[in-house]
Amino acid sequence: MGKRLALLSLPCVLLVALALPGPILAAAKFSYTVERDVCKAGAGKYGFGHAALRVRIIEYGKSGANRFTYKAQVWKRPLHSRKWTKEYQWPRYETTFPNNYDSYYNSRAYSYDPKRNVYLRIVVTVRAWHGDERLFSRTVYGKIC
C-alpha cells in the first residue's frame, strides 16, 4: 500500500520540482533586509514607548528595475482591544537609478513615539519598479510595542 501511494504521488512531486526553479530564479533578482527593529517600552518623547524600523532593498543588476519606493505606516491598537487601526503614514519615498547591469540598494529608517499608551508597530512596504511595472514587493512588520 505504501509503495502504491509513493508511486501515485511521484508525478505530483516531479511537477512541483519543475515549477520551483522559475520563482526561485525570479526572487534572486531582489532581496530585502531588516537592518534595525527596535521597540522600547516607557521610552520616547512622551514616555509611552519608542519604535524604530530600518529596511534595505537590494537589486542585483539584471532585474530591469529603475526605481524603489517605500510606503511606511504606524498601526496602533488600544490596550484592551484587538482591532488595529492606522495612526500615521509617512509620505511615500521614491528613489530612481539607471537600468543597467550594476546592483543598487537603498535603506530607509522610520521611528515613532506614541502620544498615548497603546500597542503600536511600524509597517513598511518596499517595492522595485521598472516604469509602472512592479517587479518586487515585500511588506515588513516591525516589533509590536
The structural domains of the chain, ordered by start, are 29-141 (2.60.40)
Strands (E), 1-145: 30-40, 50-59, 67-78, 85-89, 93-96, 104-112, 118-130, 133-141
Q: Does residue 92 or residue 3 have the better pLDDT?
A: 92
Q: What is the pTM of this model?
A: 0.76
pLDDT in tens, 22-77: 444 444 799 999 999 998 877 776 667 789 999 999 999 888 999 999 999 999 99
In angstroms, the CA 123 to CA 86 distance is 10
pLDDT in tens, 90-145: 999 999 999 888 999 999 999 998 888 888 999 999 999 999 999 999 999 999 88
